[in-house]
Amino acid sequence: METKKNKEPELIADRQALLRTFITPEREEARATLLKYMEQVLFGLHDFLIQHVGITQEKSLMELSVYFQDSNISKNPEKKLADVIKDLIDDIAPHAVNVASPYFIGHMTSAIPFFMVHLKTIVAALNQNVVKLETSKVVSVVEKQVLAKIHKLVYRKPEEFYEEHIQNTYTTLGAFVEGGTSANLTALWVARNIVFAPKGDFLGIESEGLQAAYKAYGVERCVVLVSRRGHYSLRKAGGLLGIGNQNIIPINVDAKHRIDLECLSQTIKDIKKEGKTKIIAVIGIAGTTETGTVDPLEKMAEICSENGIHFHVDAAFGGPVLMSDKYKNLLAGIELADSVAIDGHKQFYMPMSCGMVYFKSPTIMDAIEYHANYVIRPGSVDLGSKTFSGSREANSLILDSALKIMGSNGYALLINHGIELARRFADEINKRTMFQLVTTPMLNILTYRVCPPEYMKDLSSGEPENKRSTNKKLNEINRDVQRIQREAGKSFVSRTLLFEGNNSEDRVVVLRCVIMNPLTDMKIIKEILDEQEAIYKDIVFEQENS
Ligand SMILES: Cc1ncc(COP(=O)(O)O)c(C=O)c1O
């Protein structure tokens, strides 16, 4: 990698150059470079990524960072467009990560259909700002329509409901936000404001803040209850909303990593008995980040309804499973949630970044409504009145177009492939003596670890001390295998640390796979496992015994 300095005469920033730069590629050369790469990006995305992205030998971030030490903005233009594009393709792309590779099965960020790049380009070209009607016009009503489509996918309300609300300027079925983190935050923001709504002289928590709210309601703290597998974004929301992140209370999980319902009920009972704590929300997870587990949503909804608690479902990952007739029952009960978070950039295969939050009640978002004199006036279609972001891009155009191009059956093919391949992957692990399946996939995420037969024997000896020290050794082995495979650059699985059951002392390093790429198949999965076996036998085992 090199930092190319311009060898041509110094470029000047004058009005003539500015107008040229603003309106059209400066020269024929720039135009030719643009066309060359854009043609590849738009019509040969797959080959383009293989050819240009993530193809270099591993260079550490430390080595790369040497090239990025200059904090000065040059007074005059440094480079022409053609040179900048060349630099991006030649110097940056090879050191980026080819998340589109079918061998990249470690994260929820994966390949996207090529047409998403076309749609994103058009959205950028239109540059609509959906915060207000005056900068988006028809896009605002498209957005309301898309919100209704996904709301219907989740809540399945009768037709009359959608006729009433789809373009109603006083009601809101949900909002497009930045991602799952912002979707969860928005849902909890609404839930917090409903719990501490205005009463008597108290103007509500949004106006008067936490201290006045606690005083008005006679409480000392408030909490959110979620399984131990909850995403860390919920703790961020706890901090931002003033609840305190330690009041995002982790509830134990059962052997299948689902929330323990008895423990949840008992915690609610204890909190109610104590009398000084308000429960802002209980959160069910439809696709936990680490294990892809779906909580028992129906039962959780029942518990919340009996206790008058806001029930939020974090379906940032799992939400689009609803597109699959074959597997949507895995999310049964999601329609009972008061709010639901879904990411567009995960299993709707949209480009970064897009999140959404939906609410059962079309008026509940009034609890976070803001107005200003110059925009988002009461009763307008200005969508920014009920989102915490102000200006934002028209992601709804991308999702709407993708839904038209794919249809729910098209998305179902992707979803079914992920779930079914993950199951076959699990079977393959069970067949191999070098591995141990740690979590059986409910959706398309599974975890396992390298666990050679001699270690397996130690684990099943039943001695807790023995087991703990074996796990410690296995943790080292799996850390090494994952790192060496990543650095080799052909395949990628991620790793995480799971507690065995609910005991924080028994931590197990696991290899984690998320199957999203439709080009990933059993042949590739077997190759990935073979490579891990070889890394263990040829490198890790050798190092241990040298
Ligand atoms: C279950 C769950 N919720 C929330 C999030 C946060 O989503 P984002 O990274 O889009 O903010 C994630 C991300 O992986 C997730 O898996």
Q: What CATH number is associated with residue 371?
A: 3.40.640.10
Confidence (pLDDT) at 380:
75
Q: Which of 46, 81, 97 is the last residue of a domain?
A: 97
The residue nearest atom 16 of ligand 1, judged by CA position, is 289
Helix ranges, 196-323 (H): 205-217, 233-240, 261-274, 297-307
Q: Which atom of ligand 1 is nearest to the CA of 353?
A: 10
User: Does 330 map to a domain?
Assistant: yes
CA distance 110 to 516: 6
The answer to whether 205 and 229 are in contact (CB under 8 A) is: no
If you search the block for the tokens 């260079």, which residue do you land on?
59
The CA 233 to ligand 1 mean position distance, Å, reads 7
400 within a domain of the structure (yes/no): no
Whether residue 108 has its Cβ less than 6 Å from ligand 1 = yes
What is the 434 CA–ligand 1 centroid distance (Å)? Answer: 32
- The domain tally of the chain equals 3
In a domain, 491, yes or no: yes
Please check whether residue 36 lies inside any domain of the structure: yes
Q: Which two tokens stand for residue 173?
A: 């079925």
d(CA 116, CA 436) in angstroms, rounded, equals 37
Domain that holds residue 480: 409-544
The pLDDT of residue 500 is 74
Q: Check which CATH number belongs to the domain holding 515 and give it.
A: 3.90.1150.170
pLDDT of residue 501: 67
Looking at ligand 1, which residue's alpha carbon is closest to its atom 5?
A: 180
120 domain-assigned: no
* CB 253 near ligand 1, within 6 Å: no
Q: Whose CA is nearest to atom 14 of ligand 1?
A: 289
Last residue of a domain, one of 75, 97, 119: 97
CA 182 / ligand 1 centre spacing (Å): 9
> Is 142 in the same domain as 57?
no
Q: Are both 419 and 367 inside the same structural domain?
A: no
pTM: 0.96
Q: Which atom of ligand 1 is nearest to the CA of 345?
A: 10
314 Cβ closer than 6 Å to some ligand 1 atom? yes
d(CA 81, CA 52): 19
How many angstroms is it from 185 CA to the middle of ligand 1?
11
Same domain, 386 and 425: no
- Taking the CA of residue 230 as reference, the ligand 1 atom at the shortest distance is 1
Are 36 and 174 part of one and the same domain? no
| Interaxial angle between packed helices 115-126 and 28-43, expressed in degrees from 0 to 180 and rounded to the nearest 10 | 130
Cα angle value 432/525/232 (rounded, 5°): 100
Determine the distance separating the centroid of ligand 1 and the alpha carbon of 377, expressed in angstroms: 32
158 belongs to a structural domain: yes
343 lines ligand 1 (CB under 6 A): yes
Q: Please state, in angstroms and as integers, the Cα–Cα distance from residue 166 to each residue in 144, 336, 540, following that order.
A: 6, 20, 58
Ligand 1 geometric centre to CA of 541 (Å): 36
Sign, CA torsion 356/360/362/368? negative
Same domain, 242 and 337: yes
| Distance in Å, CA 181 to ligand 1 centroid | 6
Ligand 1 touching residue 316 (CB < 6 A): yes
CA-nearest residue, atom 4 of ligand 1: 180
In angstroms, what is the span from residue 317 Cα to ligand 1's centroid? 7
317 Cβ inside 6 Å of ligand 1:
yes
| The two three-digit tokens of residue 258, written as one number | 């689902």
Q: Looking at the structure, do residues 465 and 369 belong to the same domain, yes or no?
A: no
Task: List, for the chain, all residue ranges whose pLDDT scores fall below the cut of 50.
Answer: none
Q: Is 233 in the pocket of ligand 1 (CB under 6 A)?
A: yes
Ligand 1 and 179: CB distance under 6 A: yes
Q: Please report, for residues 453, 454, 460, 466, 476, the alpha-carbon distance to residue 463 in angstroms, rounded to integers and kept in the order given.
A: 17, 15, 8, 5, 20
User: And the tokens for 416?
Assistant: 């079914």
Which ligand 1 atom minimizes the distance to the CA of 343? 10
Tokens at 110, concatenated: 């994966």
Distance 511 CA to ligand 1 centre (A): 19
Please indicate whether residue 517, judged by its CB atom, sits closer than 6 Å to ligand 1.
Answer: no
Query: 383 and 413 share a domain?
Result: no
Same domain (yes/no): 84, 193: no
* 130 within 8 A of 137, measured Cβ to Cβ: no
* 211 CA → ligand 1 middle, Å: 30
Name which residue sits closest to atom 15 of ligand 1, judged by CA.
289
At 157 the three-state DSSP class reads: coil
365 & 480 share domain: no
C-alpha 191 to ligand 1 mean position (Å): 19
Of 178, 317, 353, 444, the one to substitute when testing ligand 1's pocket (max ligand atoms within 8 A of C-beta) is 317
In a domain, 515, yes or no: yes
Ligand 1 centre and the CA of 43: distance in Å? 31
In terms of domains, do 363 and 508 share one?
Answer: no
Check pocket membership of 226 for ligand 1, CB cut-off 6 A: no
Q: Which of 294, 340, 343 to mutate to test the pocket of ligand 1 (most atoms within 8 A of CB)?
A: 343
Shared-domain flag, residues 44 and 186 = no
319 lines ligand 1 (CB under 6 A): no
Q: How far does the centroid of ligand 1 lie from the alpha carbon of residue 134, in Å?
A: 32
In which order are the strands placed within the sheet that holds 221-227? 174-177, 355-359, 339-343, 310-314, 277-285, 221-227, 248-251
Asked if residue 161 belongs to a domain, the reply is yes
Q: Is 186 in the pocket of ligand 1 (CB under 6 A)?
A: no
Measured by CA distance, the residue closest to atom 7 of ligand 1 is 180
What does the pLDDT read at residue 376? 64
Q: Which of 97, 112, 146 is a domain's end point?
A: 97
Residue 289 near ligand 1, beta carbon < 6 Å = yes
Using a 10 angstrom Cβ sphere, with 0-12 exposed, 13-18 middle and 19 or more buried, the burial of residue 4 is exposed
Ligand 1 centroid to 320 CA: how many Å? 14
Sequential DSSP letters for 254-270: -TTSSB-HHHHHHHHHH
Based on the domain organization, do 88 and 144 belong to the same domain?
no
